[in-house]
Amino acid sequence: SGDVYFGALRRTGNFSGVVEQTPYGETLVQLGLNAHDFCLKLQAGETFTSPAIICGYSNSGFETMSHNLHNFAKDFILRAGLRPVLYNSWEATEFGVTCEEQKKLAKRAQELGAELFVVDDGWFGERNGIENGLGDWYVNEEKFPNGIDELIKEVKSLGLLFGIWVEPEMINPDSDLYRAHPDWVLALPGYTPLTGRHQFVLNLNIPEAFDYLLERMSWLLGEHAVDYVKWDMNRELVQPGHQGRAAADAQTRQFYRLLDTLVARFPHIEFESCSSGGGRIDYEVLKRSHRFWASDNNDALERNTIQRGMSYFFPPEVMGAHIGNRHCHATFRQHSIAFRGLTALFGHMGLELDPVSADEEERAGYRKYAALHKQWRDVIHHGVQWRIDMPDATTLAHGVVSPDEAQAIFLVSQLAMPDYTLMAPLRLAGLEASARYQVTLLDHPNIQITGEGGHTMRKLPAWMTTPQTVSGEWLQQAGLALPILDPESAILIGLQRV
């Protein structure tokens, strides 16, 4: 509730945000380019347009703010249609990519319910780790002796779309490209260039460097049946300079030009802004991409708060949300397939594990939650998202209601031990007050009853065991009684107007 003034800069890369209060009691807010690494000399007749700001006002809290931003994205930016469930090979193979191994992964991914198969890092140059190969955008002939068309043909025969990982703006010192063109690095003269993740940044302001990337990416996308590109950028711009001047903004504009040219040449291809997870999430890059990778941290517990934060500004269908391995590579925590599957449900779902070595329980869980996502995908990707405030900070609740308010799906996640002995009721939002809804428990953990193993749950709420039909007004004002959930577990509730 309450007044919300909001704004977002339509710009990728470094920016500046300033909030000041004047002596007269006014609050001034400025958003724009960061002057620290910005330098521009305009010749006679030249023009420069400063970045736009999306801004607005709500007198009914953050939910209306989010609805306005989501609707703006849906109505004016995003491509229509449902987002395919994708499989990404990274956690299965990392750099150990081979044609035969990827074909095995594609077959298993299709069996799990994937609709898009994405080959991650390691398919090009002498790329066997983070230290080498970036910049050499040629197929590795040892890994793909017959080129990548052999893999693409296999993927397409399974009825899957094909996607591939690239990081065009980066270059490893240990690469043929760097050895041939060390002067193509984005750097300031007189300073030793600094690597990050063993890589430099290519200076896209150099016409020859720009043209090289355009030619290589056009070869990759034009001569192969690619449907999807995962575009990464895994380091910051440090000392970005061109011809002795600060060039961070100029680099961003060249990145736009490169991507704009590729989008125009290959309009059927969809682009993901990966950028090491969260590095390029803004409304200007969204004009050129169809999906954001919210974070490289795929831990389901962490993802609950990461994804909630992202929901304030961007709709669910652009948020990449993957079911990862039971043993999370980022935190080494382990979660049940149910908690991982439900956490990844409310976004552009992806699957990321080794389906060849996974046991049948894990594979069954992946199939289950991919199918559940497809069942509710139309509501999740076209509906209205609601965040539910809970009095217990350890409980997160949110959901999506269909545009006609006939269907809804809500998730309650218990992140840690509850602060209170009893759970507060779940007061839903976005429903038609005068309508009646069938309440269905779609998914839940194996809740222990009567204190078994130290659990405090004595009796399940009636709606969890007996079908209930309840008015929208009751669901919004009185709410549903909730069971006591164990930490790092969740329940999924479905609503259907009757």
Catalytic residues: 232, 296
Cβ neighbours of residue 355 under 8 Å, at least 6 residues apart?
Answer: 87, 92, 105, 108, 109, 111, 112, 363, 366
Could you give the 3-state DSSP secondary structure of residue 292?
strand
Whole-angstrom Cα distance, residue 485 to residue 491?
Answer: 8
Residues 198, 130 contacting (CB under 8 angstroms): yes
Sign of CA dihedral 145, 146, 149, 153: negative
Q: Which two tokens stand for residue 209?
A: 């460097």
DSSP 131: T
Cα distances (angstroms) measured from residue 464 to each of 280, 455, 475: 41, 18, 15
Residue 114, token pair as written in the block: 């994937």
Amino acid identity, residue 101?
A: E
Residue 266, beta-bridge partner list:
none
Q: Identify the CA nearest to 220 among candidates 280, 292, 290, 271.
A: 271
Q: Helix H segments across 131-175?
A: 149-157
Evaluate whether 229 touches 263 at the Cβ level (below 8 Å): no
Instruction: Name the residue among 266, 257, 198 with its Cα closest to residue 226.
Output: 266
Would you say 458 and 449 are in contact if contact means Cβ atoms under 8 Å apart?
yes
- The pairing of beta strand 228-231 with beta strand 161-166: parallel
What's the per-residue H, E or C state across 229-240? EEECCCCCCCCC
Strands 319-323, 291-293: parallel, antiparallel or unpaired by DSSP?
parallel
User: Which residues are 438's β-sheet partners?
Assistant: 469, 496
Contact criterion met (CB below 8 Å) for 196 and 166: no
Would you state the structure tokens that stand for residue 369, as one six-digit string?
Answer: 């939650």
380: helix, strand or coil: helix
Phi-psi region of 426 (alpha: psi -120 to 50; beta: other; left: phi over 0): beta
Crossing angle between the packed helical segments 248-265 and 207-222, to the nearest 10 degrees: 30
**Burial class of residue 207 (count of CB atoms within 10 Å of its CB; 0-12, 13-18, 19+):** exposed
82's enclosing H/E stretch is: none
